[in-house]
């Protein structure tokens, strides 16, 4: 009689160390280290925020030093030591700035002297409602409003805001002077600082870091050179338009527009307002309208064509990258962000290229 085999019972698997959940333990030293790093980062961010004005001035000085580096290298290739090359390049920049200032200030001084000399006659014409400024009295009654303001003491009350404007102008001048000396110091010691930081990196990565630093310096210098080229074009076009319209002081106004054009977003508009005011006061409404239309047409050409062509050659960025970097910088930090958007994008491009080369194992 056949006996059917019994099915095999599954064996109970005893829990071993492989099937148990692994216990994760964190050493107290690791927790202390993480807390210390987090607190240090917070303290660093708080310090940067508290010193944000000085940090921004230092960044501007570094950008200006990178922009002037090609001039310094030119004199170094001619055999001049680093200190002498920096001194000569700094002196050249100061001379150029003083020349621009002279071209701007001399017409203002001449017109101010003429205004002081002709003030009594202008006041008589204004009070009678005749002459070039007679419409101010006939339409707006400027003389009566001025007398009422003097009698009521409102002019004395306006001394406070006026003093605030003077104080702001003095602070701005001090900040510009401080940035100039910071730029000089960065030029003198920036290379040693960079070499010291490179020495902290591993030996195999130093060449790549040096190459990235040189590329960033080239991008920043190219941006500043391109910005100067665009400003020269803007000043030249303005001077030619004002010469054609017989507006006084076309060279000085062209230089002023070129300086304003260095400032993104608001610079071109401020230059247009100044040109329109001078043209309106000297040549009338029709000439001022023609000058404003010509300036607006040029601004459109500059924003949509000239900037793309110039920065594409100097910073090696595509037109889309240029437009996005300016828009993003303006959205994040206003005028300073728009000013630093393109060089920052150029620096990001250089660093990204070096990172890709490092990931591919290229030298």
pLDDT at position 237, please? Answer: 93
Q: Does the global pTM surpass 0.85?
A: no
Mean pLDDT of all residues belonging to the chain: 80
Q: At 8, phi and psi to the nearest 5?
A: -70, 130
pLDDT in tens, 228-250: 889 999 999 999 999 999 988 88
Token pair listed for 145: 């409003």
pLDDT in tens, 274-327: 899 888 888 888 999 999 999 999 989 988 888 888 888 888 888 888 888 888
Exposure of 118 by Cβ count < 10 A (0-12 exposed, 13-18 middle, 19+ buried)? exposed
- Residue 217's CB: how many other CB atoms inside 10 A? 21
How is the chain split into domains, by residue range?
67-152+169-188, 204-363
Task: Please say whether the beta carbons of 198 and 209 come within 8 A.
Answer: yes
């Amino acid at each position: 009689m056949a006996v059917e085999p019994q099915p095999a019972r599954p064996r109970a698997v005893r829990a071993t160390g492989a099937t148990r959940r692994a216990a994760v333990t964190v050493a107290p030293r690791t927790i202390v280290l993480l807390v210390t790093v987090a607190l240090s980062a917070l303290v660093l961010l708080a310090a940067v925020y508290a010193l944000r004005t000085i940090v921004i001035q230092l960044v501007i000085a570094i950008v200006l030093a990178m922009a002037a580096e090609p001039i310094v290298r030119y004199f170094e290739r001619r055999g001049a030591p680093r200190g002498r090359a920096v001194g000569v390049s700094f002196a050249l920049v100061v001379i150029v700035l003083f020349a621009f200032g002279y071209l701007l200030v001399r017409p203002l001084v001449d017109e101010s002297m003429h205004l002081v000399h002709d003030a009594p006659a202008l006041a008589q014409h204004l009070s009678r409602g005749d002459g070039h400024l007679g419409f101010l009295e006939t339409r707006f009654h400027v003389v009566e409003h001025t007398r009422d303001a003097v009698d009521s003491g409102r002019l004395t009350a306006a001394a406070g805001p006026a003093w605030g404007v003077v104080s702001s102008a003095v602070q701005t001048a001090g900040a510009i002077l401080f940035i100039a000396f910071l730029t000089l110091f960065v030029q003198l010691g920036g290379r040693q600082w960079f070499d010291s930081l490179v020495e902290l990196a591993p030996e195999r990565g130093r060449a790549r870091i040096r190459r990235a630093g040189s590329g960033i310096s080239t991008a920043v210098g190219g941006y500043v050179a391109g910005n100067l080229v665009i400003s020269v074009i803007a000043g030249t076009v303005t001077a030619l338009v004002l010469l054609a319209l017989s507006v006084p002081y076309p060279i000085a106004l062209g230089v002023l527009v070129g300086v304003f054009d260095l400032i993104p977003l608001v610079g071109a508009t401020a230059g247009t307002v100044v040109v329109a005011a001078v043209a309106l006061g000297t040549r009338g409404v029709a000439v001022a309208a023609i000058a404003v239309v010509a300036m607006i047409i040029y601004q459109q050409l500059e924003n949509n064509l000239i900037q793309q062509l110039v920065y594409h050659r100097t910073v090696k960025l595509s037109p889309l990258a240029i437009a996005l970097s300016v828009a993003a910088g303006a959205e994040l930090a206003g005028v300073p962000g728009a000013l630093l958007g393109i060089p920052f994008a150029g620096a990001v491009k250089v660093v990204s290229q070096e990172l890709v080369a490092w990931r591919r194992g290229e030298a």
